[in-house]
């Protein structure tokens, strides 16, 4: 729904209410924007003052030259804290960055082979598999079959089982045993925790 239309020169600017709502959702509810009649107040030292009227809590925040910020607006009455909002926002962003740094995303690496593979090429694939597992990634091994090779799917299963046999001394968990998916025989392995 369009709230208003404003002409500036030869351009028309429309203010869309949906965009305004999106921008307001990520801002904290603080100071005069708090609509509750009373709040459970925690001051800047961390002391709990219990349930007090919002106007009194706001006055205490102004006296301390700080902001009154709703920490948990979903409770009844909502929890508000007296703090420096700029510093609070900075600390939240800093914690989020630290958590993101420590987070390791697990990728699914793919090794594609044909069942007519040479022994040296097979050894190269095994080394790649070891490297991927050491990095903590899951591995999808695909034995591709083309055309009339579908008649020899048992050879593709034999190759997949050879992979399993060679992985016995590696710290891996077999997530999905070899099975035929379309024209490919696939096998999923993951590192042991």
Convert the pLDDT of each residue in 79-100 to its tens digit: 988 888 888 889 889 998 888 8
Last residue of a domain, one of 52, 76, 96: 96
Question: 77 preceded by cis ω (within 30°)?
Answer: yes
Q: What span, in angstroms and rounded, lies between the C-alpha atoms of 178 and 176?
A: 7
The CATH code of the domain that includes 92 is 3.10.20.80
pLDDT for res 143: 92
CB 121 within 8 A of CB 112: no
Q: How sure is the predictor about 163, in pLDDT bands with cuts at 50, 70 and 90?
A: confident
Q: Are residues 82 and 140 in the same domain?
A: no
Q: What is the pLDDT of residue 13?
A: 46
Strand (E) or helix (H) holding 138: strand 138-144
Summary mean pLDDT of the chain: 82
pLDDT at position 12 is: 45
Q: In this structure, are 130 and 173 located in the same domain? A: yes
d(CA 42, CA 70) in angstroms, rounded, equals: 10
Indicate the residue among 96, 129, 144 that finishes a domain. Answer: 96
Beta strands in 9-136 (DSSP E): 11-16, 38-42, 48-53, 67-72, 79-83, 108-114
Angle, CA of 110, 115 and 119, to the nearest 5°:
90
pLDDT at 26: 55
pLDDT at 77: 86
pLDDT at 23: 44
The percentage of residues in the chain with a pLDDT greater than 70, rounded to a whole number, is 86
Residue 23: phi, psi to the nearest 5? -70, -30
pTM comes to: 0.49
DSSP, residue by residue, 75-111: SSSPEEEEE-HHHHHHHHHHHHHHHHHH--PPPEEEE
Same domain, 18 and 65: yes
> Are residues 6 and 59 located together in one domain of the fold?
yes
Domain C-terminal end among 63, 96, 129: 96
Q: Are residues 121 and 158 in the same domain?
A: yes
- Token pair belonging to 135: 């990095």
Instruction: Tell me how many domains the chain contains.
Output: 2
Residue 183 resides in a domain: yes
């Amino acid at each position: 729904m369009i709230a208003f239309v404003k002409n500036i020169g030869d351009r028309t600017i429309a203010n869309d209410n949906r965009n305004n709502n999106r921008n307001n959702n990520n801002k904290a509810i603080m100071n005069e924007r708090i609509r509750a009649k009373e709040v459970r107040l925690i001051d800047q030292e961390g002391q709990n003052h219990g349930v007090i009227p919002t106007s009194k809590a706001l006055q205490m925040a102004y006296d301390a030259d700080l902001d009154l910020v709703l920490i948990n607006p979903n409770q009844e009455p909502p929890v508000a804290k007296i703090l420096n909002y700029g510093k609070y926002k900075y600390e939240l962003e800093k914690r989020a960055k630290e958590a993101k740094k420590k987070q390791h995303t697990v990728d699914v690496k793919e090794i594609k082979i044909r069942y007519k593979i040479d022994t040296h090429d097979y050894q190269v694939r095994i080394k790649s598999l070891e490297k991927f597992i050491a990095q903590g990634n899951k591995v999808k091994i695909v034995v591709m079959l083309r055309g009339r090779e579908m008649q020899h799917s048992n050879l593709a299963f034999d190759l997949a089982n050879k992979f399993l046999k060679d992985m016995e001394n590696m710290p891996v968990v077999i997530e999905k045993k070899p099975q035929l998916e379309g024209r490919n025989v696939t096998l999923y392995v993951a590192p042991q925790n």
